[in-house]
Amino acid sequence: MSIIKRKTREEQPFWPVVSYKLRLPFLHYKLETPELIQGMVLFTAGLSMIAIMTGVIIGISYEMEAEMGVAGVMAIVLAV
């Protein structure tokens, strides 16, 4: 349930930031189950890439990964 209430058929409350409308969970809108599941899937997918890249499959050390950056690591991953 959101903290800030709105009247029926009005736009959701927001904080204007330049030309954007910033809305925060629990404050401006309630957190829904599909959004929570999507966030957990995206988080675990990114976290699992660390294990894949540093493991026996590709064998990149964490220090090498930090030095090369995302573009360099992706070049190695695509080459394998």
The pLDDT tens digits of the residues spanning 50-75 come to 777 777 666 676 676 667 666 666 67
pLDDT at 37: 93
pLDDT tens digits for 7-45?
Answer: 777 777 778 899 998 877 776 667 788 988 998 998 888
Within this chain, do residues 4 and 43 fall inside the same structural domain, yes or no? no
> Do residue 47 and residue 70 come from a single domain?
yes
Residue 23 belongs to domain spanning: 1-31
In the three-class reduction of DSSP (H, G, I as helix; E, B as strand; rest coil), residue 36 is classed as helix
Q: Are 13 and 23 in contact (CB under 8 A)?
A: yes
Q: Are residues 25 and 47 in the same domain?
A: no
Same domain, residue pair 38 and 25: no
pLDDT value at position 50?
Answer: 76
Identify the three-state secondary structure at position 32.
coil
pLDDT at 1 exceeding the cut of 60: no
User: pTM of the predicted model, to two decimals?
Assistant: 0.45
11 and 38 fall within a common domain: no
